[in-house]
A and B are shown apart, each in its own frame.
Chain A
């Protein structure tokens, strides 16, 4: 029996159409596919191969070129009218409470079309080129390529051939249904038609982007299939905004913590000697989850130094009819931004009445149960060669208090503790 739910898909590209609605002609359209991209030119942002550990003090001046480029390009696409609505015209507010959730009233985000069926019981599904994917996107929606400079300095080329050496280009594109100003997609190796699944290389690319932005307000997110990804073509999302969860500046000093006092159970990964270490650690956790069919969401914050991992089960509950009608009526699909505390509401009533309690109620449905979470956590630790710490620290009323769960011992052949 296949578990499915009906969903109205989010349109992330102006080229995203139901099959059959647009006549499929020959491409003359300057898309991101094999037909057009290899002979096209896109701007290239080449990131630093080894971002040094950034100073953590507040007064350290961030290099703002990357953000300036991203926002400037985004604003340019706004003036070209490429977005389905002006997100800055959507009301938004901070919900009073400890967690600082943000609610946004956005009536235009979802198409008023008939919903399609999404299979939610398989986190890994093979790439299907008949379905919408990012090679069908027009180049005007692409902002720039994001490639490794191979050196200690980053640089920007206004125009460069789209395929550098033998690598398929990584593309940053706009999300035409943004949840906030500056919302973009990072599509690793767009021409390689990778399905939505994390591997070390793609995860490292996402970390590099966070490091390059070097801004406390720039976050990346990932939704697996079954955790409300709508397109089965490997992509991350990024936006600059004040997400409350990521602003919790808890530095526990350990590699992995369990998130406490939060409606969704999750793990927090921090530090690591290099981005590579952190990418190894988190991607191995994600790979276990994917391979074992556990849907999950990832939030990358703090310039790539802090990563939240949330296994979730909302879609499954929805398919089994276990979610209350009241929650279903809000039509909120709790993906990474929602879980992080940025909740987009479609009905004014829901927006006016949004409270921390109602948000908590929604997100609590997303979370794995305590028992199931502990079970999954144990498997993840195993897969990532982590050892549970024996020491349990007392953290009373701290918000997002991370309880160190390891590692405290060095395992052979496993990660080295600094």
Chain B
């Protein structure tokens, strides 16, 4: 863990497997920020930073994210060791074991949020802008960050001193992301020595069987936005994603088809579970409904809120259905997505029939190709 000591930023790692969910690592920056010496933080639960005026809703949001094992960002009022309150942007991210997908740690990054106006300077704390220049190096956008849409508290309660609700700036968010990114990279560098590979998402593209070129070709002709997952592999990873799906996860700010904010690349998502599309606003009930249908090998159509790579949300008309191969058994699940807010031309078809057309085309391709044994690449 010495490598982590080299990193700037205020962060900690917890171990959810140990009773009390204790902190197992705290950075020097965190010690400086909160006034707690590092040894005092080890073994304690992170709720020690909360206090009387900490927003209960913010706390339960964090708790919920921990329970659901997903990333989360929230502006929260914390308390230092000396009792003084301060606002931080809390960036929470689960650290997954890349091979078996279990959560090894939770990472929590704290970025101090300056008041809206005027900026207050406290001795020992760098000015937010200066911090940005130093620490926000324009890193690649973490896919993690896409979970986090606009989840910031927006209520204006001017006049309350330290309890005035703060809004994290874009700069703050960038800093949180880059810090988290550095931590993941460091952990993975470290893991090359120990063999313990970690991931900010559960993903393991190593174990994914390659689909045959003829299946890829057939699937490639299907125009709808869809992925195929394989339930027989751990955590039901994506084994195929259509081009239209990749576009769906990007954002088009102009009227043309040219995406101004590209979505995920195929490499990023192959091997990952679909949950990277979900975020705080995604209904847990709907996700559970999908899970139930998958277990029962039934199809379902749901509406849910999903997140693009840039963190913006969209209403998704999602149809999930089991796909059987020539043995008659379920080989994959197909997930056909439709961004309901986007304009579409289905030439008279209803959106539902348009989606079901993709399901049918996938069925035909998988069934006929597996009958001749050409579903997977021969080397598999």
- Say whether A102 contacts B371, CB under 8 Å: yes
Q: Who on chain A is nearest to B221 by CB? A: A64
B350 beta carbon closer than 8 Å to chain A: yes
B243 smallest CB distance to A (angstroms): 14
B360 smallest CB distance to A (angstroms): 3
B369 smallest CB distance to A (angstroms): 9
A92-B326, A155-B348, A156-B349 given; A240·B356 CB < 8 A: no
From 62 to 103 in chain A, residues with beta carbon under 8 angstroms from any chain B beta carbon are 64-65, 67-76, 79, 86, 88-94, 100, 102
Contacts of B321 in A (CB 8 A): 75
Q: Measured between alpha carbons, how far is A86 from B361 in the docked complex, in Å?
A: 16
Q: Measured between alpha carbons, how far is A217 from B217 in the docked complex, in Å?
A: 14
- Say whether B349 contacts A88, CB under 8 Å: no
- Say whether B363 contacts A88, CB under 8 Å: yes
Contacts of B324 in A (CB 8 A): 86, 88-89
- Say whether A156 contacts B347, CB under 8 Å: yes
- Say whether A71 contacts B367, CB under 8 Å: no
A288 beta carbon closer than 8 Å to chain B: no
A251 beta carbon closer than 8 Å to chain B: no
A89-B328, A90-B328, A182-B360 given; A72·B372 CB < 8 A: no
- Say whether B360 contacts A181, CB under 8 Å: yes
A344 smallest CB distance to B (angstroms): 13
Q: Which one of B356, B364, B373 lies within 8 Å of A217 (CB-CB)? A: B364
- Say whether B364 contacts A241, CB under 8 Å: yes
From 129 to 168 in chain A, residues with beta carbon under 8 angstroms from any chain B beta carbon are 155-158
Q: Measured between alpha carbons, how far is A241 from B366 in the docked complex, in Å?
A: 11
What 1/0 mask marks residues of chain A from 172 to 196 whose CB sits below 8 Å from any chain B CB? Answer: 0000000001100000000000000
- Say whether A94 contacts B356, CB under 8 Å: no
Q: Which one of A73, A86, A88, A155 lies within 8 Å of B353 (CB-CB)? A: A73
Contacts of B299 in A (CB 8 A): 79
Contacts of A89 in B (CB 8 A): 324, 328
Q: Which one of B326, B361, B372 lies within 8 Å of A68 (CB-CB)? A: B361
Q: Measured between alpha carbons, how far is A70 from B349 in the docked complex, in Å?
A: 11
- Say whether B360 contacts A71, CB under 8 Å: yes
- By a beta-carbon cutoff of 8 Å, the part of chain B in contact with chain A is 221, 223, 299, 321, 323-324, 326-328, 347-350, 352-361, 363-364, 367-368, 371-373
Sample of 11 further A-B pairs with CB below 8 A, known A67-B361, A69-B353, A70-B360: A67-B357, A68-B354, A68-B357, A69-B349, A71-B360, A86-B324, A88-B324, A155-B348, A156-B347, A181-B363, A217-B368
- By a beta-carbon cutoff of 8 Å, the part of chain A in contact with chain B is 43, 64-65, 67-76, 79, 86, 88-94, 100, 102, 155-158, 181-182, 217, 240-242
A-B contact pairs, 15 of them (CB 8 A): A43-B348, A68-B349, A71-B360, A72-B354, A75-B356, A79-B299, A90-B328, A91-B327, A91-B328, A94-B371, A94-B373, A100-B372, A158-B350, A240-B364, A241-B368
